[in-house]
Structure 1
Amino acid sequence: MNPSQSSLSLLDAERPLSKTLSRIRALGFVLGAITCFLSLFMLPPWLLLIFEGDSDRGAFAMAFLLTLGGGSALVGAGYGARMHLRARHLFLLTVLSWLVLSFFGALPFMFTRLHLSFTDAIFETVSGITTTGSTVLSNLPTLSHGMLLWRGLLQWMGGIGIIVMALAILPFLRVGGMKLFQTESSDRSDNHLPNARALAASIGKVYGSLTLMCIAIFWAGGMRFFDAVVHALATVSTGGFGNYDDSFAHFTQPFLVWSGSIFMLLSALPLALYAQSFRNSRKPIWQDDQVKGLLIFLAFIITILSVWLKFQPAYTYMTWEEAFRYVTFNVISVVTTTGFAYTDYTQWGAFAVLTFFFLTFMGGCSGSTSGGIKMFRFQLATRALMGQMNQLLHPRAIREQRYNGRPVSDDVLRAIIAFAFFYCLTVAAIGLALTAMGLDVLTSLSGAATAVSNVGPGIGDIIGPAGNFASLPDGAKWLLAFGMLMGRLEILTVLVLLIPAAWRW
């Protein structure tokens, strides 16, 4: 081999390493930018603590400076790197983003006078950014306003982050449903990135507008302004963190309960459809197949449970309006995976308890901040089942599966089957692991279900609507935090990283 050939071989060997390092720097740059973005959300609670003269202001300042410093270091290390990232790099970037946000977001919980352990701080932060709403905290009114605001902002930031992820990452897996709910403008070109960016901007406007409207309605309905802000952040993000141990039951005004129900429902609808409806009023949002399915399902369940509750011997004193109000709020809260509690529905009898357990898996619409399996998957699975039954009766018939007037490809149906399988497998595995840690069956199963579905409260005396997760062992908290992330990232986003090909950079 002559010297020129030798130098070419050496150059070829160095190129993959150089490209790998460049991609690592690119990932670090994006993670640093996200971390710096997180630090900006720490400013409002910090400034509020300074204004109120609270002793936590120094601790919050330390958390802010560490977060900003860490993000800036990553940005500096990755500055100038070429962003030639492939789909598998986006999956890794998504998972790493939520892990980094969880770590830095936990700093205020550890540094302030709460002095939460690392485990509890991570659990509370993961619960916040995944909009789950499970908590290890009690005596919430004694917390500083800065800390209460931070909990609300974590959920609000996580809510919009979920939408951005659904637009940018999940279409590759065909599990997020965004391919089915894109606006007309984004279907005109194969180059989806500019359209996705414009769609994300319009969704951000809708998200912000819903938040401002919710704050105004809550404030006008009798909440203190601070309570209105925090509860609006938790409502629109379908998160469920509140300022009081009794959650939404702290507010006795029926107007606030009905308002909360409406905004939870509005936030569980596809946010992209709001923007589309504003541009094209020929098709109102309620004519969408997914929205119609969710509304019909909620009306059916609320009617059944309202009748059930009204005729329970312990609740005969209730008027029909009261029974309907209690049921409506709690059903919408669980189905949309918000997790606010208006009453302890586990006291309504075995039928109601089992119904709420099944509702834990439901979820709202794809393209919203809701967790769970989501309505469109149930609808497509039902149509696929009916199609299979018709195929048995008419073997030669050829029927095309359609949704919202569009054909549904077989790979989407296969993705739904895979998602449902791994969803149930994840819940079962976490539930079994929790029982191995000494938890009872009801706590283990409902805890696993509520974590993966990002609902919040489970069932039972420990983690039910009237309890919290503080008494669970540390191992259970880590496992449930992992379940929250798995559920929020639609499971397959994490599992795809286990494939060896995902690590061929």
Structure 2
Amino acid sequence: MHFRVILRILGILMMVFSFSMVPPALVSWLYDDGSMNAFLVAFGITFATGLITWMPVYRVRQDLRTRDGFLITVLFWTVLGLFGSIPLMLAETPHLSVVDAVFESLSGLTTTGATVITGIDHLPASILWYRQQLQWFGGMGIIVLAVAILPMLGIGGMQLYRAETPGPVKDSKLTPRITETAKALWYIYLSLTIACALGYWAAGMSAFDAICHSFSTVAIGGFSTHDASIGYFDNPMIEAIAIFFMVISAVNFALHFSAWKQKSLSHYWQDPEFRFYVSLLLGITAFCALVLHVTGTIEGLEAVRNALFEVVSIATTTGYATADFAQWPTMLPFLLFIAAFAGGCAGSTGGGMKVIRILIILKQGMREVTRLLHPSAVMPIKLGNRAISDRVAEAVWGFFSVYLIVFVIMLIALLGTGLDQVTAWTAVGATLNNLGPGLGDVAAHYGDLNDSAKWILCFSMLLGRLEVFTLLVLFTPAFWRR
């Protein structure tokens, strides 16, 4: 383990992250909301800590190993979650406690979208901006951004990229060099954000709301500048724009890169994961709309409008709301939460287990059923025309098993803090899948939970963002052996 080079990288990344305090400080100055000092102090503390960490080891030049990448990734998200909480503690409004500030900060950076704050409409503009900005940085992963500059500092970045990128296949690159890959991802990410902001603004949002909501939409985050979320605007055009950008942001960014490179959209439908993803969204939407109409909860086109938005929002793990889906017929909220376990596609900003893993599990399940009839048959699992190796299938099953075991352990831990069953299981599901809203006591916000439950859910958010294994591997003795 190269601890000196790890400290060097961590110091650099903390100094880079400190500059994220500058935009909200400028917003505070522009709106004169009284929070500027909180951001300036947070900038100073974060930059100084990064500098002190970096200075003793700034001459170190060593190649990173894979285990170094895992440790840096976990340290980075943990440290940024802690230092990102400083403005939320120092600002007069909301002036959060340590646990609440860390919860809110991690929720933003991990794009979970769970909040402990009430009265969001009355928060200072700079705090509103900062919450959305945290999600935007977390969406693609600040480490992927840092990978683009690490080679210039004499540090290879492929180990970081493999530890950070979500999905079961992490060795594929869009371009021959990892630096160019990171840049390509960020160009696409930035372009989608600008397009989303312009769409919101043209549809009737203020410029401030449009930019803030574009941050959390493309990041699949779900934070809003209003307590009523997207429902505050009650605008079908805004909802349509949100649906469009939530859907494409939960698609593998490699497909977007190919579309830009080849100037063609045909390869989207050729991708089996994309087809399965769209089919899931449409199928669940149709079922929800039918149930809403038949039960008289919401009728006609309004049932379709509400069902489509909520299904896309929850299934992509964004967490926006236009209606209180917790009040829908009981099976629908449960169905939506199950859909969130699938989440977005691999290589997207979405959470959950990723659609491609669910597809592989289903295909393997069908293969086992067929083997009952033809025990000697050789039947490879195929995605499109490409057969996947048994090693990948085993890895997917391993991930699925560990994911469910972690879910059960976290659920038991939350029940041990005194939460009821509905609140506990949806809180774990919402944080582990980086979804945000839950049911029961966490349907609106997480502010009423006890501190122990909040710390557990902070760990759950990190597990979800780092896809479980990246974090759990640090707790194995083999990781620390020479």
Asked if the contact 1:167–1:200 (Cα under 8 Å) also holds between the matched residues in 2, the reply is: no
1:440 to 420, 423, 427: 420
**Corresponding residue for residue 262 of structure 1:** 244
1:304 to 257, 264, 287: 287
Asked if the contact 1:163–1:367 (Cα under 8 Å) also holds between the matched residues in 2, the reply is: no
**Corresponding residue for residue 277 of structure 1:** 259
The 5-angstrom pairing of residues 288-327 of structure 1 reads 288-315=271-298, 318-320=299-301, 322-327=302-307
What is the distance in 2 between the residues matched to 1:162 and 1:489? Answer: 13
Q: Give the Å deviation of 1:169.
A: 4.7
Q: Give the Å deviation of 1:167.
A: 7.2
What is the distance in 1 between the residues matched to 2:97 and 2:163? Answer: 37
**Corresponding residue for residue 454 of structure 2:** 477
| Change over 3 Å in CA distance of 1:106–1:174 after alignment to 2 | closer
Unaligned runs of 5+ in 1: 1-19, 187-193
What is the distance in 1 between the residues matched to 2:142 and 2:276? Answer: 22
What is the distance in 2 between the residues matched to 1:162 and 1:55? Answer: 28
The 5-angstrom pairing of residues 47-86 of structure 1 reads 47-86=26-65
Q: Give the Å deviation of 1:220.
A: 0.4
Instruction: Name the aligned partner's letter for residue 451 of structure 1.
Output: T
| Change over 3 Å in CA distance of 1:308–1:167 after alignment to 2 | farther
The 5-angstrom pairing of residues 301-450 of structure 1 reads 301-315=284-298, 318-320=299-301, 322-450=302-430
1:492 is the counterpart of 2:469: yes
Q: Give the Å deviation of 1:86.
A: 1.3
What is the distance in 2 between the residues matched to 1:31 and 1:332? Answer: 36
Q: What is the TM-score when the length of structure 1 is the normalising length?
A: 0.89
3-state SS, counterpart of residue 141 of structure 2: helix
3-state SS, counterpart of residue 360 of structure 1: helix
Give deviations 1:369-407, integer Å, cap 9, x for gaps: 111011100111111112222223222222222224333
| Change over 3 Å in CA distance of 1:400–1:325 after alignment to 2 | same
Give deviations 1:396-433, integer Å, cap 9, x for gaps: 22222222433311221111111111111111111111
Give deviations 1:251-302, integer Å, cap 9, x for gaps: 1111001111111111000112111122224643232111111001111110
Asked if the contact 1:450–1:458 (Cα under 8 Å) also holds between the matched residues in 2, the reply is: yes
Asked if the contact 2:219–2:249 (Cα under 8 Å) also holds between the matched residues in 1, the reply is: yes
Q: Give the Å deviation of 1:173.
A: 11
Asked if the contact 1:175–1:412 (Cα under 8 Å) also holds between the matched residues in 2, the reply is: no
Instruction: Name the aligned partner's letter for residue 319 of structure 1.
Output: G
Q: Give the Å deviation of 1:69.
A: 1.1
3-state SS, counterpart of residue 178 of structure 1: coil
Q: Give the Å deviation of 1:96.
A: 0.4
Asked if the contact 1:249–1:343 (Cα under 8 Å) also holds between the matched residues in 2, the reply is: yes
Instruction: Name the aligned partner's letter for residue 207 of structure 1.
Output: Y
1:157 is the counterpart of 2:157: no
Asked if the contact 2:164–2:466 (Cα under 8 Å) also holds between the matched residues in 1, the reply is: no
Q: Give the Å deviation of 1:72.
A: 1.7
What is the distance in 1 between the residues matched to 2:208 and 2:477? Answer: 49
What is the distance in 1 between the residues matched to 2:105 and 2:409? Answer: 23
Q: What is the TM-score when the length of structure 2 is the normalising length?
A: 0.93
What is the distance in 2 between the residues matched to 1:328 and 1:415? Answer: 33
What is the distance in 2 between the residues matched to 1:169 and 1:421? Answer: 25
Asked if the contact 1:110–1:118 (Cα under 8 Å) also holds between the matched residues in 2, the reply is: yes
> Is the deviation greater in 98-107 or in 273-282?
273-282
1:468 to 432, 445, 450: 445
Over the matched positions of the two proteins, sequence identity in percent amounts to: 36
Asked if the contact 1:199–1:272 (Cα under 8 Å) also holds between the matched residues in 2, the reply is: no
Aligned residue-pair number: 469
The 5-angstrom pairing of residues 167-178 of structure 1 reads 168-169=159-160, 171=162, 176-178=167-169
Give deviations 1:187-220, integer Å, cap 9, x for gaps: xxxxxxx2x3222211111100000000000000
1:30 is the counterpart of 2:12: no
Q: Give the Å deviation of 1:501.
A: 2.1
Asked if the contact 1:162–1:369 (Cα under 8 Å) also holds between the matched residues in 2, the reply is: no
**Corresponding residue for residue 90 of structure 2:** 111
Instruction: Name the aligned partner's letter for residue 383 of structure 2.
Output: Y
What is the distance in 2 between the residues matched to 1:96 and 1:420? Answer: 25
| Change over 3 Å in CA distance of 1:234–1:334 after alignment to 2 | same
Q: Give the Å deviation of 1:182.
A: 4.5
The 5-angstrom pairing of residues 13-28 of structure 1 reads 23-28=2-7
Instruction: Name the aligned partner's letter for residue 324 of structure 2.
Output: D
Q: Give the Å deviation of 1:172.
A: 6.9
Instruction: Name the aligned partner's letter for residue 270 of structure 2.
Output: Q
Asked if the contact 1:170–1:176 (Cα under 8 Å) also holds between the matched residues in 2, the reply is: no
**Corresponding residue for residue 180 of structure 2:** 198
What is the distance in 2 between the residues matched to 1:416 and 1:127? Answer: 26
Asked if the contact 1:265–1:336 (Cα under 8 Å) also holds between the matched residues in 2, the reply is: yes
3-state SS, counterpart of residue 115 of structure 1: coil
Instruction: Name the aligned partner's letter for residue 245 of structure 1.
Output: D
Unaligned runs of 5+ in 2: 148-156
Instruction: Name the aligned partner's letter for residue 7 of structure 2.
Output: G
The 5-angstrom pairing of residues 114-125 of structure 1 reads 114-125=94-105
**Corresponding residue for residue 218 of structure 1:** 200
Asked if the contact 2:253–2:348 (Cα under 8 Å) also holds between the matched residues in 1, the reply is: yes
Asked if the contact 1:39–1:67 (Cα under 8 Å) also holds between the matched residues in 2, the reply is: yes
Asked if the contact 1:364–1:370 (Cα under 8 Å) also holds between the matched residues in 2, the reply is: yes
